Chains A and B, each alone.
Chain A
Amino acid sequence: MSVETETRERTRAGSSLPAWSGERLRFAIFAAVLLLAPVWLPLIGSYTDLGTRVLVYALAAMGLNLLLGFTGGLSFGHAAYFGLGAYGTGLMLRYVGPNMWLAVAAGVLLGGFAATLVGPVVMRRRGIYFAMITIAIGQMFYFIAVRWNNFTGGEDGLTGFQREPLALPGGSVTLTGPHFYYFVLFFFAVGVFLLWRVLNSPLGHAMVGARENSRRLEFLGIRVERLTWISFAISGFVTALAGSMNALLNNFTSPLDLYWQLSGYFVIICVLGGMRNFWGPFVGAAIYVIMQDYASTMTKNWLSVIGVMFMLVVLFFPRGLLGVLARRRSG
């Protein structure tokens, strides 16, 4: 199987290419489910904010998965870019002005450029060293947020900002309930489309090649380190976008959004859902967020439930839940 067909197969679920007949239909159903979430979520006794949170975590994990699942770089520091996105947005709203577009842009640029700048340091490492250096750099941002009390609010978190009405050409919209869900869904679609385009470009195929056999790629004259850097940067931008959405969802952000533990949850989400699959992290995020929401009400040991699931998945379905389903279908 050539690298190119492999990438196409992995990302197939999200592609509009008619790889086989049911493809478009399934994507349309998926899109309709997301678009109608504010309608059906209350009907099953849930609430819209839960759907919004699934989108936020899914976007963050899918951003990470470009690096983790498709380029083969295990980053344990992606919460840093998530948190920087959140702080960028929050600080902009708090100190500069109530413009939502600017606030989101500030978050994305802050987190994205941080990842881009850090890239050259991490791209030379492989395996466990890659994980170690990403975790160390991530913690650096965490401690900046904790210590810079009078600017970031320190360990108390950043308060004093909130979602502002969104300026659109036709007037302004207040972002509450379903409105905010669609606001997040829009940016989710933008982020996912970007990832999908990257993965279906020669660049994306080269990334998968780097994961499968980086030495061979080097012999072919491709600079694998630079490839890792690009992947790290794009993944940072997308994760920062998710972080920015998270800050707006809670109207709050705290240093725990930058903490290594959250990075670990993102990795768990990718592995749960299936990190070789384009939509795998989405499934993982849905499971994680719903578990957190429901199980944490019933037992304070809800993380053990996630932990047991994680172990079972790693032991029995190393390709994750969606990976298993996809394999069963094709085989």
Chain B
Amino acid sequence: MDIFTRNLGRRTVLGSAAAAAAGAMIYPARGTFAASETPVRIGMIDPLTGTYAALGSSEVLGAKVALNEVNKAGGILGRPVELLVEDSAADPGTAVQKARKLVNSEKVNFLMGAVSSAEALSLSQAAEELKTFYLDTGGHTDLVTGTQCRWTTFRTCSTTWMLTAGNFQTLFDKFGKDWYFITPDYAFGHSLEQDYSEQLRKAGGKVLGNALAPLGTTDFSSYLIQARAAKPSVLIILTAGDDLVNSLKQATQFGLDKEMAISGALQELEVLQALPPAARLGWWTFEWWWDQPNQPHVADFVTAYKAASGGKVPSARSWFGFASLHAIALAANKAKTLDTMSMVKAMEGLELPPEVALQPNNPFYRAADHQLIANEFPGYVISNGTYPNLFHVADIVPESKIGKSAAEAGCKMTYPS
């Protein structure tokens, strides 16, 4: 019994010491608020390990930059804001566990995050069950604001349909009509492939084949051999994160880029940075680009982000985290309460101000399906470029022109009575 109590005592001491250390990391921006104010807590669930670690970390860093700004500007309802970050490892099961922990134990007021579509879908379901506001930062599948849309879920990144529609015509005109896909075998890949195929068939093209690669594949050789045998005019690679790095590297090592064009939908700065120059090729779509000389406030964000990241330039993921946290603060201050239903209503139709939007055409969260309507940045990779000048934005396409309407996307929003 003696040993038991002593152990417990020591554990408590260790635990509180660790908690204090963790606390010091989480709340750097306090001090401008009265000590008596209870903070508003935002729980962020993102992959910090695994295939999507680089993307998840950018989202978190972007959110932290926004957190700093929000707290400097008076927080939410005059209360300081805290960001609690949890690692999902891009596993939907872990993401759900963390969401429960954040809501039940840490009593967070809002949830945000996700890189993989699968975790976005599972988080969306869990959040509705927990009656907690959830903002999907980076899970792209159409379903999240389409047939599986939920009253508690909003989304900052674009739908897979928008990603494909952003550059389909360019790819079709440039590279021809025989397409072969390498698709990650989960929600994100499936809906990208379907969206491209639908447009390709309409335009009179042909899908020569589709190789499904599991998430986290490191060896793409068997899929690349299949692609070579099919002799397409263009190989469309739909993987993301480290999987995209590996597939592009291996495709160029196989010399496929000499036999066919290689392109795809979503491309990201993190990926281009990780690629050897030989594998930097193709036409893709970005969802946000750091270099917009004619757009006010963008340079300020780049400077703030560089200071926070030790010289890294913000990627689209950084902007997702940044804009999402700002959007939550804006909506909560507009709702004047933290109650979920009022928050949802305040968020519906919310237009991002220029210093948050950092792009043209006044992005806003569409009320009917809770999807942010922003812009796509299609263009091509500068093959001999140096970081961060790795991509040339050919065009800025407003998503209001290419996106599906909420009804077309299949969203029927139902609210609790």
Contacts and interface: CB of A to CB of B under 8 A. Distances in A.
Nearest to A253: B93
Given A155-B214, A296-B86, A254 B91 contact: yes
A162 B45 CA distance: 22
B126 A252 contact: yes
Nearest to B25: A298
A257 B91 CA distance: 11
A252 B117 contact: no
Contacts of B21: 298
B49 A250 contact: no
- Chain B binding surface SS class: helix
Nearest to B99: A250
B126 to A, nearest CB: 7
B185 A154 contact: yes
Contacts of A48: 104
Interface in B316-365: none
B187 interface: yes
Contact of A156 (B15, B22, B121, B126): B121
A156 B92 contact: yes
A47 B104 contact: yes
A175 to B, nearest CB: 12
Contact of A157 (B122, B185, B190): B122
Interface residues of B, number: 32
Interface in A43-93: 45-50, 53
A248 interface: no
B125 A251 contact: yes
B122 A159 contact: yes
A45 B19 CA distance: 12
Interface string A268-310: 0000000000000000000000000110111010000000000
A3 interface: no
B104 A155 contact: no
A242 to B, nearest CB: 14
A185 to B, nearest CB: 18
Contact of B101 (A47, A159, A254): A47
B408 interface: no
B87 interface: yes
Contacts of A157: 92-93, 118, 121-122
Given A154-B186, A156-B117, A298 B122 contact: no
A135 interface: no
A256 interface: yes
A253 B97 CA distance: 11
Contact of A47 (B18, B49, B105, B190): B105
B96 A252 contact: yes
Interface string A125-157: 000000000000000000000100100001111
24 contacts: A45-B105, A46-B105, A48-B104, A50-B101, A146-B214, A155-B215, A156-B186, A156-B187, A157-B92, A159-B121, A159-B122, A160-B125, A162-B129, A250-B93, A250-B100, A251-B96, A251-B126, A254-B91, A256-B93, A293-B101, A294-B18, A297-B22, A298-B21, A300-B49
**CB-CB nearest 4 A-B residue pairs:** A155-B186, A47-B105, A156-B118, A156-B187
